[in-house]
């Protein structure tokens, strides 16, 4: 069976996922594309023999579309995800699930009312081989109880449109999701501190930022977000337990010795660093749909949790670094909780 995917949003990541679904993943075909920039939708659709449709609503309703991929701007995600649920079609939504907690809860409620999972959120780090190995090591118990996590999330540069709040909403949101999953624990508070700012930033931006999170079990997470580090796209993660530690491996790269120095290249963007993770994420999503199974990747609840935790981090940033308690509803049984 070929899963026919309709794509809403033909920008940077939308085009990358269309290429992935067409050239990398077997059992999938992109049959429809839409974008508010209709010329872009037509151009991108033509590259894969898909039809360009005028709106997300028409794409979701199309009989040629079995599953929906949402890669439009964040504030538009909720509308498309809710429409896909109403149509009973599986929907993969790039992060964030929605930009407000209220919209995330509307999605959670709609999915619960339907009674089966249709939504998967695009937190691709759960599909990265290094993070998966870290999770296995932590779960096996040889490190003892996890106590501390040290992380860094560095981008070489960001555009002028990137705001200080986006350090949490757009960037740290990946650690927020992957650490909840890695530790099988919930984040209960957030604090954001701004050290001396780099001179390599746009004037309005607070960069770098140091973020501190505490989990329900008392694990302390420290995360450096530095989005103008200049030298590359660098993701670090080290979990310290009672009897040892586990560290995320750097991506494999050849060692080069020349001109009196030796080194390995640092990736320059998330596309290259997480290419294999994105491939695995889509392979598993498509295989699940083809098998008639519910998605097992990050759920609508995980999307809601990430949004309320990033809200707490932004409130801390905007309130002189106060420690802010995460305002999260109890997790429903439908999503593996007890409520
Ligand atoms: P982009 O601006 O390059 O592309 C977004 C596209 O959506 C544009 O072509 C725009 O015209 C279109 N669009 C906006 N509103 C629309 C609507 N209502 N209907 C149809 N099309 C609409 O942005 P991008 O970098 O591709 O990011 C898209 C999403 O992917 C964002 O939510 C972003 O956070 C996420 N993203 C995730 C990762 C990751 O690592 N997982 C990386 C980059 C971006
Ligand atoms: C971007 O939207 C991503 O999701 C990248 O993974 C992240 O590293 C970057 O900081 C974000 O802007």
Ligand 1 within 6 A of CB of 94: yes
What pLDDT score does 208 carry?
98
Average pLDDT, rounded, for the chain: 97
The answer for residues whose C-beta is within 8 angstroms of residue 302's C-beta and 6 or more apart is: 121, 123, 177, 180, 181
The answer for residues whose C-beta is within 8 angstroms of residue 5's C-beta and 6 or more apart is: 21, 28, 29, 30, 31, 65, 66, 67, 68, 69, 286
Condensed to tens digits (0 to 9), the pLDDT of residues 329-338 reads 999 999 999 9
CATH 3.30.360.10 residue ranges in the chain? 126-269+304-332
For residue 30, give the nearest of 55, 54, 57, 62 by alpha carbon: 62
Task: Return the ligand number nearest the Cα of 8.
Answer: 1
The pLDDT confidence band at residue 1, using thresholds 50, 70 and 90, is: confident
Measured in whole angstroms, the distance separating CA 229 from the mean position of its chain's CA atoms is: 21
CATH 3.40.50.720 residue ranges in the chain? 3-124+276-299
For residue 226, give the nearest of 213, 207, 212 by alpha carbon: 207
Ligand 2 within 6 A of CB of 125: no
Ligand 1 within 6 A of CB of 299: no
pLDDT-above-90 percentage for the chain: 99
Interface ipTM: 0.98
- What is the rounded distance in angstroms from the CA atom of residue 113 to the CA atom of residue 121? 19
For 3-124+276-299, the fitting CATH number among 3.40.50.150, 3.40.50.720, 3.40.50.740, 3.30.565.10 is 3.40.50.720
Condensed to tens digits (0 to 9), the pLDDT of residues 47-67 reads 999 999 999 999 999 999 999
- What is the rounded distance in angstroms from the CA atom of residue 213 to the CA atom of residue 191? 7
Condensed to tens digits (0 to 9), the pLDDT of residues 225-244 reads 999 999 999 999 999 999 99
Average pLDDT over residues 84-96: 98
Average pLDDT over residues 168-178: 98
The answer for residues whose C-beta is within 8 angstroms of residue 307's C-beta and 6 or more apart is: 96, 97, 98, 99, 100, 101, 104
Which helix (H) or strand (E) element contains residue 224? strand 220-226
For 126-269+304-332, the fitting CATH number among 3.90.226.10, 1.20.1440.230, 3.30.360.10, 3.50.50.60 is 3.30.360.10
What pLDDT score does 325 carry?
98
Q: Which of 170, 228, 303, 310 to mutate to test the pocket of ligand 2 (most atoms within 8 A of CB)?
A: 170
What pLDDT score does 276 carry?
98
Ligand 2 within 6 A of CB of 174: yes
* Rounded distance from Cα 70 to ligand 1 centre (Å): 8
Average pLDDT over residues 133-152: 98
What pLDDT score does 209 carry?
98
Is 0.80 topped by the overall pTM? yes
């Amino acid at each position: 069976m070929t899963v026919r995917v309709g794509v809403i949003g033909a920008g940077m990541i939308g085009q990358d996922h269309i290429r992935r679904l067409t050239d990398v993943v077997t059992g999938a075909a992109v049959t429809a594309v839409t974008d508010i920039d209709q010329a872009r939708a037509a151009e991108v659709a033509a590259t894969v023999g898909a039809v360009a449709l005028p709106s997300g609503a028409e794409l979701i309703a199309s009989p040629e579309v079995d599953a929906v991929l949402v890669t439009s701007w964040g504030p538009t995600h909720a509308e498309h995800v809710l429409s896909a649920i109403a149509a009973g079609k599986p929907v993969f939504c790039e992060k964030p699930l929605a930009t407000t907690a209220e919209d995330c809860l509307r999605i959670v409620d709609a999915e619960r009312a339907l009674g089966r999972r249709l939504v998967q959120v695009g937190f691709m780090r759960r599909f990265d081989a290094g993070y998966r190995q870290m999770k296995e090591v932590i779960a096996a118990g040889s490190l003892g109880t996890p106590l501390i996590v040290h992380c860094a999330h560095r981008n070489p540069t960001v555009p002028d449109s990137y705001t200080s709040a986006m350090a949490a909403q757009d960037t740290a949101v990946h650690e927020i999701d992957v650490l909840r999953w890695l530790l099988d624990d919930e984040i209960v508070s957030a604090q954001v501190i701004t050290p001396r700012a780099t001179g390599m930033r746009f004037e309005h931006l607070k960069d770098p930022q140091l973020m501190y999170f505490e989990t329900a079990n008392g694990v302390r997470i420290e995360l450096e977000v530095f989005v103008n580090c200049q030298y590359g796209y660098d993701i670090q993660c080290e979990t310290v337990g009672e009897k040892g530690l586990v560290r995320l491996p750097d991506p494999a790269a050849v060692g080069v010795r020349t001109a009196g120095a030796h080194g390995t290249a640092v990736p320059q963007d998330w596309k290259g660093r997480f290419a294999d993770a994105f491939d695995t994420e889509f392979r598993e999503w498509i295989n699940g749909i083809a098998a008639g199974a519910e998605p097992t990747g990050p759920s609508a609840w995980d999307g809601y949790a990430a949004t309320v935790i990033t809200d707490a981090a932004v409130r801390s940033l905007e309130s002189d670094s106060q420690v802010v308690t995460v305002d999260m509803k109890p997790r429903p049984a439908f999503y593996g909780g007890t409520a």
